[in-house]
Every structure is written in structure tokens, then in C-alpha cells.
Chain A
């Protein structure tokens, strides 16, 4: 459990030292597109740029020890639970404001490159379904609460095919599909969340699940329709959104701090194994090379 009361939280954090903080800093790898979400997973900074290693069309699990770069969050605390008590961010970029940023826990990804991007059709994914064990990949039992987005990690070529993902939901029902007709983004910069955007049939930040589905246990395939991207590399990211916070002011780096214990007492949880990453929504076209900085404080009880 977390804390039984505000008194318990104060005691655990001040007398027992069960608190720490984190810092995350990234440079935008490419100009952000107005109205699009952007992931910063392959952006340079701290943690370093991920390259999305692993086999093509195969699910690669990630956690807080991910060798390609993960924010240090103090390790496991089970049976206690760890919660963010404050978090904030700033973006220094000449254009693009205002922004929303969304910390996520990246559970894993499936990468598609070359002809798996430049041809249409069904791209079958190999994945061991998320289960309900103590393994880090199962940190959201059976995938409850998980969402998906499709992000570029290289500059995309021309054309915008439709994209749809077939998945098994957290109840174990197979062949569920995300909303039909969702359109990818032509010629998008690296980091762009391709299912988001500023037009019809764009959904952001996540692909809408079918019906009242509450999670994703297994990614079965990705279906490209219409005219394929001329080129590019993408990842299907499986993640749990943790919070969202606004950054209204550009360039100066004004820091926007949210208090999750008092102002918005939602206590976003870092489960054991959390791989903290960030998504950013660009209202305008964010300048390439802009800097995103975030920091937060967390604690745990028990």
C-alpha cells in the first residue's frame, strides 16, 4: 500500500526517508508538428536516445532497467507502493507552445522497419501475452490499463496509410481492434505519434480501444491500409499513462509544477519496474532541438 493518511505520508517521507526524486531531460530530435503528439524515447538527453533494438515485429519488453535508457526510480518497494507526490516540466523552444506533456510507463514496443512499413497489409506480431506473474513485463496484470500508440523513430516517407491494431484485451478476448480508419501521418519527423494529428481520423495520444476495453494483453498485428508509407521506421508502444500536465509558456523555460498530494491528490503510481518516458503534445510546430526538462518527487509507505 501507499500511505494510510497524510500523517503517515509525512512520517514515512521525513522520518523513514522513503522518498526520492528524478530528473529527465531531452532534446527534440525533429521539429514537432502542430496538433501532433510526439514521443521523446529516441531523443538525445538523459536517459540517452533509445535505438529500439530487438527483433522485427517482435514485442520487446522494457522496464526500469532497460539497457537503452530508463529513468532511475529507486528500485522495487513491494509490498509498498510508490507514488508521485509532485512533478513538473518546462520546454525551451522558440515555437510550439503551449504544450501538454504526459509521463507514461513504457511496458514494451514492437518495431517495424523497411518493407514492414513500406508495404501495406497485415503485419503479424510475435508476443508472449502479458500475464499475471511477478515478472516485470506483467506489472500491469494481464495488461489492464495499458494503451498503444504508433510512433516514428526515423523520418517517415511520403503517404499516409490507415493503421489499425488487432489485440487481445485484458479480459483475454482476442481479435479486438482499434478504431478503423485511423490515418497515419505522411513525411512526419522522428518521434511523431503517427495516429495523432490535426485532422479527421486522427486520435491522440492513444489508439482508441474497441468498446469498453480496459487494457491490452497481447498485440496481435498491425494492419496498414491504403497507400503505404514510402519509407520509415515505427514502433508500436504499449504503455500506461500516468498523468498529464500543461506547459503554457515557451522559450523561457518557466517550470510548471503539479502537486499530486494536495492540489491534485491523485498520487500517480510508479509500479515496480516502471520505465518512465514522456509524450508531448505540440499545439504549434515545436522547434527542432528544443529542450524538455522534467523532474519529480515520489515516496512510498509500508
Chain B
């Protein structure tokens, strides 16, 4: 790991050309999401292109690099210098995309097309690849279809220390209208939402997932995704302009600068960056999350 010895080394990167500026723009699909739904922005169209977790069912796979926010291959870790985000409203009067909590993640590995209707059946994952870059990550479950009812499941997994056979807390899935929503909930409720599945007591991360067993049908399909969280950020007021009445404009941006507003976060070589967002005020359907981020690397 090649980092920085002091603030002067950090500040010198821009003058030395060791930086990369990149843009992202993701448009949430038109299916309505609910307040308190987390969405997986990688699933939606834009730049980078949509990541539908479309590969062989239950087989471990890596997310392709071109489905992550563009990074240059500089042969070593990069570090997040700054990130700035804004969210464009779906229409002139829509306010439901305001106040989003966002989490920048490195998408490590996933198991697609888990059948949430397979009650009583142990769905065994196929370990065709291993977890890259990290010793373990957080597990999240992303809908790959609409789901019709509240489901219940557990996962068995190998933890950060390589101990297999660990069992997650009993977790529920909820009703969603389409793919791209994080489908888990901490209670048997439509309103609740949980970005990550709670692991067995004492564990901090998962290295792989071995199986999934539903005890209550969820009525859909989901991908089990292992990510490494990097940095929280928020998007406050939605960006829009009314077309009747007061003809007012609204909007806000959030900018975080390393050292000042956030720590220096490592982005490992080969990282696939994406954003998870919490729709705090209502549906995120057809809203657009846009941002610019800069990375730097050491000499």
C-alpha cells in the first residue's frame, strides 16, 4: 500500500499530474420506490452503464470494471480527493428525491438470481471466483425483479477470518416494484429498510456466501452482493424548476474534500465504484444522481 507521508505529499498530487477526474450520471428507472428504500444506483442506466447482475444464477461473479464509476488503471491504490453530488428531480414538482443518504462502495462480488420463492430449499452458491481486494465485505441483497410479498431468509457464509458455516440474522425481504432496490428490511415491514444483512454475532464481514434458505416466500429474484463501503455522503435538496406558479428553482450540491470534510479513503487497484442511496422522502423513480469525483495517487 503506497500512501502519503504528510499533507504536503497529498497536496502535491495535482501539480504532479497524479489525479483523475471522473463524472457519473445515473437515472433511476421509472418503477416507483418507497420512502426508506435503499436503491443500488449501479443497476440503473447512464454513465457508467447499468449493472444488472446478469450472469449465471447462483454463481459468484465480479462486477465488470466498465459498470463502475470510471477509474484509471494506475497500477496501485488511488485515494478519494473529493466528491460532489447532486440529484435532479424527476419532474418540475417532484420533491421525493430530496434528503438522500448516499454510500460510495467498492462492488466486490455477487451471486445473481436467487429465487426468493424457494421456501424450504437450500440454494447453494457456486464459488467460481473469490473475493477480490478485501478480506471481507458487507452483504446486501438487490432486487432483480419486482417482488410480491414479504419474505424471510437466512444466509450461510464464510466470515472475514475464513470461518465457514456462519449464519446471518433472520432477514426479511419486502415488496418492491422492480429491480435495483435493496430488498431487505430489518422487520417484517414494507417501510423498513436495511442496506446490509446483519451477520452472526461477532462477525464484521463476509468473504463469501455459501447458501441461502427462504422460510417465507418473497415472490421475486435478488442478487446477493458483497461490497466494501468507502464513504458516506448526502444529497440534500432536489434540483428542479417549477413550470407554473411561482417559477422558482430549487437545488443543492454536497461537496466533500478529503482532509477537510472527510478522511483520505483508499480506493484499491481494480475497484468497481458505485453508489447506494436511501430515498428518505419518497420515490426516487426517474430521478438522476450526478456527480464528479477526483482521485489521487502517490509517487
Q: Is the CB of B297 within 8 A of A246?
A: no
Task: From A94, A206, A209, A250, give the contact of B251 (CB < 8 A).
Answer: A250
Which residues of chain A come closer than 8 Å to B247, judged between CB atoms?
251
Closest residue of chain B to A265 (Cβ to Cβ) is B260
- Measured between alpha carbons, how far is A283 from B25 in the docked complex, in Å? 7
Q: Is the CB of A281 within 8 A of B23?
A: yes
Q: Is the CB of B241 within 8 A of A94?
A: yes
Q: Is the CB of B249 within 8 A of A197?
A: no
Residues in B42-90 with C-beta less than 8 Å from chain A: 46-49, 66, 70, 72-76, 82, 84, 86, 88
- Measured between alpha carbons, how far is A199 from B46 in the docked complex, in Å? 6
Q: Is the CB of B49 within 8 A of A199?
A: yes
Chain B 13-49 interface 0/1 with A at a Cβ cutoff of 8 Å (1 = within): 0111111111101000000000000000000001111
A80 at the interface (CB under 8 A from B): no
Closest residue of chain B to A215 (Cβ to Cβ) is B17
Q: Is the CB of B70 within 8 A of A98?
A: no
B288 at the interface (CB under 8 A from A): yes
A202 at the interface (CB under 8 A from B): yes
Closest residue of chain A to B251 (Cβ to Cβ) is A248
Q: Is the CB of A249 within 8 A of B288?
A: no
B124 at the interface (CB under 8 A from A): no
Known: A211-B75, A248-B86. A98 touches B260 (CB 8 A): no
A119 at the interface (CB under 8 A from B): no
B15 to chain A, nearest CB (A): 6
**Candidate in B20, B251, B297 with the most chain A CB atoms within 10 angstroms:** B251
Closest residue of chain A to B20 (Cβ to Cβ) is A208
Known: A97-B239, A98-B253, A251-B241. A144 touches B290 (CB 8 A): no
Chain B 110-136 interface 0/1 with A at a Cβ cutoff of 8 Å (1 = within): 000000000000000000000000000
Q: Is the CB of A214 within 8 A of B241?
A: no
A204 at the interface (CB under 8 A from B): yes
Known: A146-B17, A202-B47, A283-B290. A100 touches B23 (CB 8 A): yes
Q: Is the CB of B74 within 8 A of A212?
A: yes
Closest residue of chain B to A202 (Cβ to Cβ) is B47
A69 at the interface (CB under 8 A from B): no
- Measured between alpha carbons, how far is A264 from B14 in the docked complex, in Å? 14
B103 at the interface (CB under 8 A from A): no
Which residues of chain B come closer than 8 Å to A197, judged between CB atoms?
47
Residues in B265-299 with C-beta less than 8 Å from chain A: 288, 290, 292, 294, 297
- Measured between alpha carbons, how far is A252 from B25 in the docked complex, in Å? 23
Which residues of chain A come closer than 8 Å to B241, judged between CB atoms?
94-95, 97, 249-252
Which residues of chain A come closer than 8 Å to B75, judged between CB atoms?
211-212
B4 at the interface (CB under 8 A from A): no
B96 at the interface (CB under 8 A from A): no
Which residues of chain B come closer than 8 Å to A247, judged between CB atoms?
253
- Measured between alpha carbons, how far is A209 from B74 in the docked complex, in Å? 10
Q: Is the CB of A248 within 8 A of B47?
A: no
Which residues of chain A come closer than 8 Å to B292, judged between CB atoms?
100, 102, 244, 246, 281
Q: Is the CB of A97 within 8 A of B21?
A: no
Q: Is the CB of B260 within 8 A of A200?
A: no
Q: Is the CB of A211 within 8 A of B73?
A: yes
Residues in A161-209 with C-beta less than 8 Å from chain B: 170, 196-206, 208-209
Q: Is the CB of B74 within 8 A of A100?
A: no
Closest residue of chain B to A209 (Cβ to Cβ) is B72
Closest residue of chain A to B252 (Cβ to Cβ) is A248
Q: Is the CB of B290 within 8 A of A205?
A: no
A296 at the interface (CB under 8 A from B): no
Which residues of chain B come closer than 8 Å to A98, judged between CB atoms?
86, 88, 239, 251, 253, 290
Q: Is the CB of B23 within 8 A of A37?
A: yes
Which residues of chain B come closer than 8 Å to A146, judged between CB atoms?
17
B188 to chain A, nearest CB (A): 38
Closest residue of chain B to A92 (Cβ to Cβ) is B249
Which residues of chain B come closer than 8 Å to A256, judged between CB atoms?
253
Residues in A51-90 with C-beta less than 8 Å from chain B: none
Which residues of chain A come closer than 8 Å to B82, judged between CB atoms?
244, 264
Q: Is the CB of A251 within 8 A of B249?
A: yes
Which residues of chain B come closer than 8 Å to A145, judged between CB atoms?
14-17, 19
B248 to chain A, nearest CB (A): 7
Q: Is the CB of B251 within 8 A of A244?
A: no
- Measured between alpha carbons, how far is A156 from B160 in the docked complex, in Å? 53
A241 at the interface (CB under 8 A from B): yes
B245 to chain A, nearest CB (A): 14
Chosen A-B contacts, 5 in total, with CB atoms closer than 8 Å, are: A145-B16, A208-B70, A241-B21, A252-B241, A266-B257
Can you name 7 extra interface pairs (CB under 8 A) apart from A97-B251, A202-B47?
A: A145-B19, A196-B23, A204-B22, A209-B72, A214-B18, A246-B86, A250-B251
Closest 4 CB pairs of A and B: A214-B17, A248-B251, A246-B253, A212-B74
